[in-house]
Amino acid sequence: MSIFTGSGTAIVTPMNADGSVNYESFKNLIEFQIANETDAIIVCGTTGEASTLTHEEHLDVIKYCVEVVNKRIPVIAGTGSNCTETAIYLSTEAEKAGADGLLVVSPYYNKATQNGLFAHFKAVADSVKIPILLYNVQSRTGMNIAPTTIVRLCEACENIVGVKEASGNISQVAKIAALGKGKIDIYSGNDDQIIPIMSLGGKGVISVLSNVAPRQTHEICAKYLAGDVKEATQMQLNAIDLIEALFCEVNPIPVKQALNLMGMEAGTLRLPLTEMEEATTARLKASMEAYGIL
């Protein structure tokens, strides 16, 4: 059974002015997501600035998210690392905290072989019982999880159930779908490819867009799944300019700025990420106004 179907929000981690986690704002963001029909929350992923959280902060944020959500929708915890032991530690602790599933990114910087990737993910999967989604994002990790490796992992590990595909390569998604024969849950990792990936059998999206437009992103998926492909496609196309604006600087810089513009108090970023530049902020603001969320 899939962890979720539809739109899962890769939620930001709001910060106070001193760089500490703003838990009050985080609760408000979670409630905003649930009130607007988000289908799942993905906590401590790329968008959640997990790479600059300490291990203690990382696990505290996961625990807090699980507590606030309180089983109303699934919570999927980002627990990947380029160190297998660290990924196992974060994954086992997230399971203890009550996460419904895990999102585990491929090891970055190390550039493991495909056999190394298999061994890494299998070791993580063997350490927990909850379901795992692989996270394939070559633009950030420097390496691709091959379709054959994804299928091999899903066949070897009962709790590796799918993949967040952010390669941008639709041909690769088609290959995963073909080799997986309907047994691998595929989620778009790119907001501009929700409909293309769902047309290949995808279950939905793990989304940055849904931080600021949760109901609209949910509706794109819901309408497609209900058979209204024309309307879902038009909604996808209507969001393209905003999606591009949300990535006109490296994620999550623009989405945090967008939430701040909406009065949602996402706060600052941790170095090496810096505040959005004036020209790109103007571009983002214009896109938000045109889309009707500002």
Tens of pLDDT along 181-200? 999 999 999 999 999 999 99
Average pLDDT over all residues of the chain: 97
Mean pLDDT of 82-104: 98
- pLDDT above 80 (res 12): yes
- pLDDT above 90 (res 27): yes
DSSP string, 214-243: HHHHHHHHHHHHTT-HHHHHHHHHHTHHHH
Q: Across-strand partners of 116? A: none
Tens of pLDDT along 128-142? 999 999 999 998 988
What pLDDT is recorded for position 230? 98
Angle, in degrees to the nearest 10, between helices 23-35 and 55-69:
40
- pLDDT above 80 (res 1): no
What pLDDT is recorded for position 139? 87
Residues noted as catalytic: 135, 164
What pLDDT is recorded for position 6? 98
Tens of pLDDT along 144-182? 999 999 999 999 999 999 999 999 999 999 999 999 999
What pLDDT is recorded for position 84? 98
Tens of pLDDT along 200-250? 999 999 999 999 999 999 999 999 999 999 999 999 999 999 999 999 999
pLDDT above 90 as % of the chain: 98
- The total number of residues written for the chain in this structure: 294
Nearest by Cα to 40 from 205, 199, 162 = 205
What the chain holds in terms of domains, given with CATH numbers, is 6-226 (3.20.20.70)
Q: What share of the chain is helix, strand, coil (3-state, %, to 5)?
A: 50, 15, 35
